């Protein structure tokens, strides 16, 4: 097993056996989900930015960054998954077929008055709660959101603005989730969570299925640009439900010729890295301290883990400075490249690529991953400046380290 501990990053490469393809993260299901989401007026594909000047500086063929800050006015990708998850739950409850309805059908007065009787709850470190409260405010449903201690005011406000009741707890994300599980059971509220555990997988799988829309859009956009497929995909992970949707899709579409896949996590919340290192599912505990609020999760989605560990080769446990570097480079492009506003959790995958291509300390890992002049690298910037204060601190003040 290849391992490399270098400056600001620990890397391990898993030995993959037979791929465990996930039967619902398919191109067909992505198209089905997309057909429904397209009926929402806010929906349009987010841009896939080809950073050509940067690619030549990095010595690779292509660097594609999908900019999810442009997703449905939410400044982050999460709304796609949660919208699809909620829509499917409502379909189940009222015996509707997602393939035959559009969003407006859920707003028809008779049905909508019944939908409005439903009360929802979730734990979040920000973006999931924002996506959920957004869709529930459109539908007219009540929503209770619980957030970990140290959640910034900007993130709390962003959710309250959609009419949700927000409670900040004394615990970390995983503690907050346990509180929500109890509250949901006590009050018979509908729990919509982007995290799975024994007995709770259905909704999370639907959310990951919703994320396949992003993968399907990205592949179509790359192909329009003349690239057949990515050779490498580097994604950031918290619980891993997002990576599950995206990488599960690419593994299903390309099977044995799938891209080389990498998961990047914050060093204090690196549950995938630890699980691969230990050869078994491992929970990370403690404060999970990191600027990457969306990735501050110590317990991997165990359904996602079962697939990801068979298709993802590389696992990187990264310091905050890697994400901060990614944010800064995306914010100040070279040549004719487009500027991308990418937040702390959005820029980690890109930050890691920049280290691989620019730091001598990373040369060996880069060679192991076979990143070279033929590489077509896909990254997803999953959020914009969802916390404007932190964003400014990083970009203007060099917050969280500048050394490489």
Ligand X SMILES: Cc1ncc(COP(=O)(O)O)c(C=O)c1O
Residue holding tokens 């030995």? 15
Judged by CB under 6 A, how many residues of this single chain contact ligand X? 22
Binding flags for ligand X, 336-375, as an x/- string (CB under 6 A): ---------xx-----------------------------
Among the listed residues 10, 62, 66, 78, the single catalytic one is 78
Is 212 a binding residue for ligand X by CB under 6 A? The answer is: no
Active site residue 78: yes
Q: Does 75 bind ligand X (CB under 6 A)?
A: no
User: Cβ of residue 126: shortest distance to ligand X, in angstroms?
Assistant: 6
When the beta carbons of 237 and 369 are compared against ligand X, the nearer one is: 237
Apex 253 CA angle, 251 and 259, nearest 5: 45
Q: Which stretch binds ligand X (CB under 6 A): 177-185, 233-241, 252-260, 350-358?
A: 233-241
| Annotated catalytic residue within 34, 66, 125, 337 | 125
Query: Which of 29, 241, 319, 323 lies at the binding interface for ligand X (CB under 6 A)?
Result: 241
Tokens 């969306």 locate to: 294
Cβ atoms within 10 Å, residue 361: 15
Phi/psi for 107 (5° steps) reads -100, -5
What the block records as the tokens of 183 is 């509250």
Smallest distance, Å, CB 129 to ligand X? 9
Give dist(CA 189, CA 263) in Å, integer.
Answer: 33
- For residue 236, state whether it binds ligand X (rule: CB under 6 A): yes
- Exposure string for 176-190, b = 16+ CB within 10 A, e = fewer: bbebbbebbeeeebb
Q: Is position 114 annotated as part of the catalytic site?
A: no
40's CB contacts (< 8 A; 6+ apart) are 72, 83, 103
> What residues numbered 264-303 form the site for ligand X, per CB under 6 A?
294-295, 297
| Window 104 to 143, contacts with ligand X (CB under 6 A) | 125-128
The answer to whether residue 76 forms part of the interface with ligand X (CB under 6 A) is yes
Question: Which residue, 115 or 264, is less far from ligand X as judged by CB?
Answer: 264
Stretch that binds ligand X, among 36-44, 154-162, 231-239, 306-314 (CB under 6 A): 231-239
Q: Which of 194, 209, 216, 387 touches ligand X by CB under 6 A? A: 194
Indicate the pairing of strand 119-123 with strand 9-13: unpaired
User: 219 to each of 36, 212, 224, 255, how far by Cα in Å?
Assistant: 19, 11, 9, 15
CA angle 273, 275, 279 (to 5 degrees): 120
Name which of 55 and 82 has its Cβ closer to ligand X.
82
CB 200 within 8 A of CB 193: yes
Residue 214 C-beta: closest distance to ligand X, Å? 11
| Token couple for 15 | 């030995």
What is the separation of C-alpha 67 from the centre of its chain, rounded to a whole number of angstroms?
Answer: 12
Contacts to ligand X by CB under 6 A: 76, 78, 125-128, 194, 236-243, 294-295, 297, 345-346, 382-383
Active-site annotation, residues = 78, 125
């Amino acid at each position: 097993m290849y391992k490399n501990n270098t400056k600001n990053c620990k890397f391990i490469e898993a030995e993959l056996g037979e791929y465990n393809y996930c039967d619902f993260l398919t191109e067909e299901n992505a198209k089905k989900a997309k057909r429904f989401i397209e009926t929402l007026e806010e929906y349009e594909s987010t841009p896939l930015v080809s950073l050509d000047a940067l690619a030549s500086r990095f010595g690779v063929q292509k660097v594609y960054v999908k900019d999810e800050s442009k997703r449905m006015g939410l400044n982050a990708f999460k709304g796609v998954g949660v919208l699809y998850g909620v829509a499917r739950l409502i379909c189940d409850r009222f015996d509707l077929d997602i393939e035959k309805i559009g969003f407006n059908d859920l707003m028809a007065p008779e049905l909508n008055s019944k939908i409005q009787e439903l009360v929802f709850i979730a734990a979040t470190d920000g973006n999931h709660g924002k996506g959920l409260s957004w869709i529930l405010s459109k539908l007219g449903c009540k929503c209770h959101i619980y957030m970990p201690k140290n959640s910034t005011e900007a993130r709390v406000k962003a959710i309250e603005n959609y009419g949700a009741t927000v409670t900040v707890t004394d615990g970390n994300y995983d503690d907050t989730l346990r509180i929500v599980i109890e509250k949901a059971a006590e009050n018979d509220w509908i729990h919509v969570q982007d995290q799975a555990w024994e007995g709770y997988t259905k909704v999370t799988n639907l959310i990951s299925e919703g994320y396949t829309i992003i993968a399907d859009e990205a592949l179509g956009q790359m192909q329009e640009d003349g690239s057949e497929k990515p050779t490498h995909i580097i994604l950031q992970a918290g619980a891993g439900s997002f990576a599950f949707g995206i990488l599960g899709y690419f593994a299903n579409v390309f099977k044995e010729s799938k891209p080389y896949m990498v998961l990047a996590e914050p060093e204090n919340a690196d549950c995938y890295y630890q699980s691969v290192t230990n050869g078994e599912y491992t929970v990370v505990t403690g404060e999970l301290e990191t600027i990457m609020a969306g990735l501050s999760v110590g317990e991997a989605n165990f359904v996602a883990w079962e697939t990801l560990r068979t298709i993802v080769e590389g696992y990187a446990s990264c310091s905050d400075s890697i994400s901060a570097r990614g944010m800064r480079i995306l914010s100040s492009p070279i040549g004719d490249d487009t500027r991308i506003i990418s937040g702390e959790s959005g820029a980690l995958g890109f930050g890691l690529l920049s280290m691989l291509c620019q730091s001598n300390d990373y040369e060996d890992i880069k060679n192991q991953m076979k990143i070279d002049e033929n590489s077509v690298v896909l990254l997803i910037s999953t959020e914009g400046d969802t916390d404007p204060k932190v964003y400014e601190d990083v970009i203007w003040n060099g917050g969280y380290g500048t050394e490489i």
